[in-house]
Structures are given as structure tokens and as C-alpha cells.
Copies of this chain bind each other. A is one copy, B any other.
Amino acid sequence: MTTPTHVVSAGADLFADAVASQAVDVTRVDWRPPMPGAESDLATVAADPRRRDANERALAAMLGVTARLVDVAPASEVLGLERGQFLHAGPPIAWERASGPLRGALMGGAALEGLVDDPEDAVALFEAGTGVELEPCHHRRTVGPMAGVVTPSMWMFVLEDPRTGARTHCSLNEGLGKVLRYGAYSPEVLTRLAWMRDVLGPLLQTAVRTVRDGAGPVDVTGILTQMLQMGDEAHNRNRAGTLMLLRDLSPAMVTSGADPADVADSLRFVGGNDHFFLNLAMPACKLALDAARGVDGSTMVVAMARNGTDFGIQVAGTGDEWFTGPAQVAEGLYLGDYGPDDANPDIGDSAITETAGIGGFAMATAPAIVRLVGGSVPDALATTRLMHEITLGENPRWTIPVLEFQGVPSGIDVTRVCRTGILPQINTGMAGRVAGVGQVGAGLVTPPAEIVPMALAALAERTRRRVS
């Protein structure tokens, strides 16, 4: 009789597979080496005595925020956006490096504002750069899905934290397919945007103000709580959220005094667009995360955003600095005949949802999402479980019934990402690579791995400066 051999294999699957194939019992321990080059910075940041407390404060600040819908108003009013100024998703970028969908959305936006008659004529305008300015949404307390282009005449949702009065903003969602945020700028796109400007926006303003001054503003954070019990992860599924918003606003829309035909059209438009609530989920997440900005010593990510060329993150302990790298193309499912060659790299501020613990981080609560973004139901459950490995805590308000009401994984920790090599999972729409095309699919994507060690290095540098 031979002594039984039992191998404990930490991380290295190749080794474990080899011994298992020789009929040796193997206990696999999930372990990966830290991200390359991160060891020294990890040691520095881990030893920083401020870290634990700073992260607790950052997480608590984020979890303490509630978002209410207090107004709908044009960007010119609430953001002070002036003629020729354009907001866009992601970290800063100039026209020269802008991707197709961002260019397409800027061209359409220029036509909407009357800077040009034909969107194609806007190319010369942006190339010359005279009388036009680009600025990230994030720099104006705003988030924008996909291209995220905001122009002065666009109506914005205004969200407020009742405890602090802090506010964030987002434009109104246009629907799917041929829409500006996916880079389309055909006449149907501009006609829809004009109707949103002239009919939908004013009607929503009246309704939102009536509700705010009556029963109290729509509780966006509360609707998100309910959505997570109704199969929405609030990034690529916002069906229940959209319906709850309609429930809360429709009575005031009816008594607004507006033409009943316009009210009916607006109800049909919102009710026919399962993504309408995304533009409330996103600024609710930004409002929460902005509360954690500037917490010195904290390694918590407060923004992940993409402009179609670069993927950028911001961290609580490094102020408003962006750490950027090349945006990836998502893996997923394509609409119609589109394929990977048609897809633009990752774009949009919508990864703010994952940054706040929902979207891809809450996929376990929305298993039906796999029909849209690909993957399997067990993958969806596993993704949420995996994200707990790289987050600071759980959100007691946003829970997942099927995981026995566990809170969503919240507060991405730069040190945990670098230590485990596990990257945040984002589920996202895919824009066509060519300006004007629109949406081509939806799928799963991560940040480029190298930007997280870049953020860690900046944190380590601050720690070293402080100590020295």
C-alpha cells in the first residue's frame, strides 16, 4: 500500500490539471499572482495606515447617498452649457483621436444646435476647432451613455441628494438602434431629438416639478432597489425601472394641461424604450460615487468611463486625475448581420453603474440579460460572486434575492484588483465603428488591465511623498 498523495494547488491550473490526470487528489485554491509590476506599489499602499479608514469612509460616503429626481431642464440652464460647447462620455479627448460613434454624435449634435444644416458639414467645424469645445460629461457633474454627447438645448434629468443638496445630471434616453448616442445622425435621429426638445422635455419638466412639489420627488435610489428584485441590473436591463418611473410620473403628465395627444405620444415613447431609466440609474450612481471623491488615502474607484478610444478610471485618493488606456471591444451578441469587425471599442459613461455595484456587478439578479449580452446563466451568477473579490463591501440597500438578499459588491478597490488580477466586469452596448451606423450589439468588457496598476502607482507615490 502506497501513501496517498494529496496535492494542494494554489492558482496554477496547468499543474493541477496535470496531477489530476494522474489520478491524484487535488484541492484547488483560487490564487493568482499580482498584476505584473504592481508588487512594490502594493506593498507601499498596503502599509499605508490611512488606507483602511479612508476606504471605510469612502464606502460609507457612497452608500449614504440617496438620489431623487428634482428637475428636468435644458443643459444650457442647469450646466451653463453655451452654444458650441459639447459634453462627451469618458476621459478628455480631442476630435483628432475621437472614434466614429463619438464623431457621429458630435456631428448630429452640431446640427441639432443649428451650427450646421447638414451633420456632414460639422466635420470641417470640428477639424478647425473654432467656436467648438469638447469637455467630458464627468467634468460637469454629468454622465452620458455611449457617446454621451450633450448640447445646450438638450433636456437633462437633475438628481439631488437630499442630505447634502449635491446634484448630478443626465440627458433623456432616445431609445435603441439609430440614435445619436450610438453615433447615428440621420434625419430620423434629429427629428426625434427635436421632438424630445420641443415636446417630451417640457412635459417631463412639468410632471417632475408637480410630483416634487406634491408627494415628493421620485425616489431614484428606491426604484433601483426594486429593480434589482425585478430582473434589472440597471445597465443593459432597465425595463422595470422604466415602468416604475412611468407609474410615478404619468398621473402628473395627464394633469399637466398638455395636449392629450402629446401626453399619449410621450407615454408611448417612454413605455416603448426599456432603457429609458438608464439615464436615471447612471446619474444616481455618479451622485453616490461623487460623495467619495477626494478621500485622501482611499483606493476606491469613483469613476470608470470610456470615450470610444480611451478607457479611464478615477480613484477616491487621487483627486480628479484620469488613468487611461486603450478601450477594448466587447465580446457579446450582434444585431442582425453585424459582427466583431463592425464594433467600435467600448464607449460611454455607463460603466458608472458597475463602479457603484450594479450593471455587470449585479448580473446575478438579471439572468435574462445573458440573452442580450451573451454568456450563460451560471456565468451571470458567478460574475457577481467574483466581483465581491475586488470590492470593499456590500450595499445593504441594493440586494439580490437569488443570492439570499446579499448586497451588491460595492466599491472597487484598486489594491484588490492589482492583487488578484480580477478585472471589473462591465456589460455594455456596442456602437458601430463608423460614424452614423448606430448600435451593432451588446456584450461584456473589462477595462484595459494596465490602467489599474497606473492608478495604484499614483496612490503609492502619494503615500511615499506623505511618509518621506
With both beta carbons as reference points, the residue of chain B lying nearest to A250 in the complex is identified as B267
- Say yes or no: is A326 at the interface (Cβ < 8 Å to chain B): no
Of A89-97, A120-128, A237-245, A279-287, the one contacting chain B is A237-245
Query: Would you give 7 A-B contacts (Cβ < 8 Å), ordered by A?
Result: A230-B239, A231-B231, A250-B271, A255-B260, A255-B264, A367-B402, A368-B401
Q: For the complex, give the distance between the alpha carbons of A257 and B247 in Å.
A: 20
With both beta carbons as reference points, the residue of chain B lying nearest to A246 in the complex is identified as B247
Q: Which of A260, A367, A402 has the most CB of B within 10 A?
A: A402
With A261-B255, A404-B377 as contacts: A229 and B231 at CB distance below 8 Å: yes
Contact with B along A225-263 (1 / 0, CB 8 A): 010011110000001100110111011101100001101
Chain B residues positioned under 8 Å from A229 (CB to CB): 231, 368
- Say yes or no: is A376 at the interface (Cβ < 8 Å to chain B): yes
Complex copy number for this chain? 2
User: Which residues of A317-350 are within 8 A (CB) of B?
Assistant: none
Chain B residues positioned under 8 Å from A271 (CB to CB): 247-248, 250-251
Q: How many residues of A contact B (CB 8 A)?
A: 36
Q: Which of A231, A252, A260, A381 has the most CB of B within 10 A?
A: A231
With both beta carbons as reference points, the residue of chain B lying nearest to A377 in the complex is identified as B404
- Say yes or no: is A465 at the interface (Cβ < 8 Å to chain B): no
Q: How far is the CB of A354 from chain B (nearest CB, A)?
A: 20
Chain B residues positioned under 8 Å from A263 (CB to CB): 254
Q: Are B401 and A376 in contact (CB under 8 A)?
A: no
- Say yes or no: is A405 at the interface (Cβ < 8 Å to chain B): yes
User: Which 6 pairs show the lowest CB-CB distances between chains A and B?
Assistant: A243-B243, A367-B401, A251-B264, A247-B271, A368-B401, A229-B368
User: Which residues of A356-413 are within 8 A (CB) of B?
Assistant: 367-368, 370, 376-378, 381, 401-402, 404-405
With both beta carbons as reference points, the residue of chain B lying nearest to A261 in the complex is identified as B255
- Say yes or no: is A268 at the interface (Cβ < 8 Å to chain B): yes
With A401-B231, A402-B402 as contacts: A267 and B251 at CB distance below 8 Å: yes
Q: Are A260 and B250 in contact (CB under 8 A)?
A: no
Chain B residues positioned under 8 Å from A246 (CB to CB): 243, 246-247, 250
Chain B residues positioned under 8 Å from A226 (CB to CB): 239
